[in-house]
Structure formats: structure tokens, C-alpha cells
């Protein structure tokens, strides 16, 4: 029997993803997989960056013998002087990309052209008026938190599972918005591949970055989001390979976005014919997973 001489079905469901193979002869019918793409998180500035877009794709048909490229988006750079930079997209083959997270904004420039993304960044401080955060991509993330006039604190970036927090209170006792929580919908994938941020046994991806404040800084969202800074510093970067965004850096710290990740999952134990980029293979719970933390390719 050839390497592809088997047929398997997930839970016997009519809607389940199926891997169909002809027996013998080495000729295979279409091969269906599920794919998780998480883009790079946006960098923080005054406001928290937006998390990288999270895109789950089910029942994707691959052609045996075809090489599929994998691009894993890097995180955006944090900045204390100008607007930060967006995260970069994560893409599998020619599929729709998971979009990089929105870039945190500089004090006095409450929103910028790069504020939108997989999740939107928070709005920076602009004392004259309220400001909305960046806009998230539908199906991939959420909007960033707003700046509320007089708080002198920035909004938090959006996460894959929740909007970023708004700034609150009045100067000098205002508080920055927290980063929006990421998604735990793929916790089983995270557990199987040691990926995402593990919080009490639940695995999260794509958390927003917390905003800057003179008083109470914004916490990073579950899913690798970085904490914002205050005048004593302390901003942290998003966690690598979670798509978490950087925290607001205006008071010091790095606040860069975390890189993304790509995971391919299918039923059964077939090994890919070839790969590049050194992905990690896992086999557990009846599934095989290939995890990419950098660019590469895969051929079945």
C-alpha cells in the first residue's frame, strides 16, 4: 500500500473534514486540512498596538505533490517618538491573509493611517477631544480602545476576542485602557503544539497591547499582549508567535509586537513528503499538526 493508501473521517460527521486517498498506486484524491493563521502584532507607542489578525480556515483542499508556501508575519516595531509600525501578514499559499495588527499612535496624533489592522490599535492622548481607536478586520479581530478627553491616558489595542479598553478618569489619576483579550477558540491546538499563551491550562492567541498612562498603565490582553508603560517605564513587547501586540511605550520600554504563527492540522498520521523552514510536527489526539514559527513550505 502506498503512503497515501488510507481513508479517514473526523467523528463520522457529514460535515467533518475528510482526507480521501485511493488505495495503492500512489495516486491520491484531494487532501483536506484545517489551518490556523495568526499575523504579527502591532507595535506600541503612546497607545497599545492591535493584535495580529486570527484566521481559522476549515476544510481547505490541498493537491498532493504541490508545494505550499508559508509566510509568518513578524511583529511591528514599537516607538517612543513617532507612530509605531503595523504587524506583518501571515499567509498560507494563496489563501486570504491574516492581517497584521494596527500600529500604536504617538501622543498628539491620536489616530494614524496604520491604526487599522487585524485588530485596531488604541487611540493616543489628544487633550482637545475624544478619539476612537483603530478598526479591526471583520472575522479576524476587534477595534482598539478610545481616548476619552481629560484622562491623559491612552487606549488599549484590540484583541482577537475583545475590543481594547478605553482610557478612564481624569488627569493625573486617569488609567490607560487594557489590551483586548485574544481568542481561546484554538486552545486545543495550542495545547497540542505548545503554542500561544498558556493561562491556567487555556491557550490564547492574539491579545492586544495595553496603553500608556501617567498613573495606572494598561494590562496586556490574554494571548501575548504587552503591558503599557508609565513615566517610570515598563512597557513590554508582545509574546513571540502569539500575535500579541506591544504595550504603549511613551514612558519607556520596547513595546514591539509579537510575531505570528501558522498551524496546519489534519486527521490521521501521514507525514508530509517535504518541508522547508523547519516546522515542528506533532501527532496527538488522532490529529497531525505542523507548526510554522517562521517562513517555509510544505508538500504532501
Please answer whether residues 134 and 115 qualify as being in contact, where contact means their C-beta atoms are separated by less than 8 angstroms: yes
Q: Are 243 and 82 in contact (CB under 8 A)?
A: no
Q: Does any domain span residue 272?
A: yes
Q: Is 283 part of a structural domain of the chain?
A: yes
- What is the CB neighbour count within 10 angstroms for residue 202? 13
Quote the number of domains for the chain.
Answer: 1
pLDDT for 136-161, tens place per residue?
Answer: 999 999 999 999 888 889 999 999 99
Q: Is residue 288 part of a domain?
A: yes
For residue 207 the three cell numbers come to: 491579545
220 Cβ contact list (under 8 Å, min separation 6):
48, 178, 179, 207, 208, 209, 210, 226, 227, 228, 236, 238, 244, 245, 247
Percentage of the residues of the chain whose pLDDT score is greater than 70: 89
- Domain of 22? 8-35+261-299
187 and 206 in contact (C-beta within 8 Å)?
no
- Note the helical H segments in the chain: 187-193
Q: Which tens digits make up the pLDDT trace of 172-217?
A: 788 999 999 999 999 999 999 999 999 999 999 999 999 999 899 9
* 184, part of any domain: no
The values of phi and psi at residue 47, to 5°, are -90, 160
More confident residue, 171 or 89: 89
Structure confidence by residue, pLDDT tens digits, 69-126: 999 999 999 998 778 999 999 999 999 999 999 999 988 776 667 899 999 999 998 8
The mean pLDDT value of the chain amounts to: 88
pLDDT at position 29, please? 55
Asked, for residue 27, whether it belongs to a domain, the answer is: yes
- Does 174 fall in a domain? no
Q: Output the pLDDT for position 160.
A: 98
In a domain, 53, yes or no: no
**Residue 196 and residue 222: Cα distance in Å, rounded?**
10
* Beta-carbon contacts of residue 199 (< 8 Å; ≥ 6 apart): 222
Is the alpha carbon torsion for 217, 221, 157, 257 positive or negative? positive
Closest-CA residue to 289 (of 297, 280, 298): 280
291 located within any domain: yes
Amino acid at each position: 500500500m502506498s503512503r497515501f493508501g488510507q481513508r479517514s473521517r473526523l467523528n463520522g460527521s457529514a460535515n467533518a473534514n475528510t482526507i480521501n486517498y485511493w488505495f495503492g498506486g500512489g495516486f491520491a484524491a484531494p487532501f483536506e486540512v484545517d489551518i490556523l493563521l495568526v499575523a504579527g502584532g502591532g507595535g506600541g507607542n503612546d497607545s497599545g498596538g492591535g493584535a495580529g489578525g486570527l484566521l481559522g480556515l476549515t476544510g481547505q483542499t490541498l493537491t498532493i505533490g504541490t508545494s505550499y508556501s508559508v509566510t509568518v508575519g513578524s511583529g511591528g516595531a514599537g516607538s517612543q517618538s513617532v507612530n509605531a509600525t503595523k504587524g506583518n501578514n501571515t499567509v498560507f499559499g494563496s489563501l486570504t491573509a491574516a492581517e497584521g495588527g494596527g500600529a500604536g499612535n504617538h501622543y498628539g496624533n491620536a489616530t494614524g493611517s496604520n491604526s487599522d489592522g487585524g485588530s485596531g490599535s488604541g487611540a493616543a492622548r489628544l487633550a482637545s477631544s475624544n478619539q476612537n481607536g483603530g478598526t479591526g478586520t471583520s472575522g479576524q479581530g476587534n477595534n482598539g480602545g478610545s481616548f476619552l478627553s481629560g484622562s491623559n491616558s491612552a487606549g488599549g489595542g484590540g484583541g482577537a476576542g475583545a475590543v481594547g479598553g478605553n482610557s478612564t478618569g481624569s488627569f493625573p489619576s486617569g488609567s490607560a485602557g487594557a489590551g483586548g483579550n485574544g481568542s481561546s477558540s484554538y486552545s486545543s491546538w495550542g495545547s497540542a503544539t505548545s503554542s500561544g499563551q498558556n493561562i491556567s491550562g487555556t491557550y490564547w492567541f492574539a491579545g492586544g497591547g495595553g496603553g500608556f498612562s501617567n498613573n495606572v498603565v494598561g494590562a496586556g490582553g490574554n494571548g501575548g499582549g504587552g503591558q503599557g508603560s508609565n513615566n517610570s517605564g515598563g512597557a513590554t513587547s508582545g509574546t513571540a508567535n502569539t500575535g500579541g501586540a506591544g504595550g504603549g511605550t511613551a514612558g519607556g520600554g520596547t513595546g514591539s509586537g509579537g510575531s505570528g504563527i501558522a498551524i496546519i492540522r489534519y486527521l490521521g498520521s501521514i507525514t508530509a513528503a517535504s518541508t522547508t523552514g523547519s516546522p515542528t510536527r506533532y501527532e496527538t489526539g488522532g490529529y497531525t499538526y505542523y507548526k510554522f514559527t517562521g517562513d517555509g513550505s510544505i508538500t504532501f
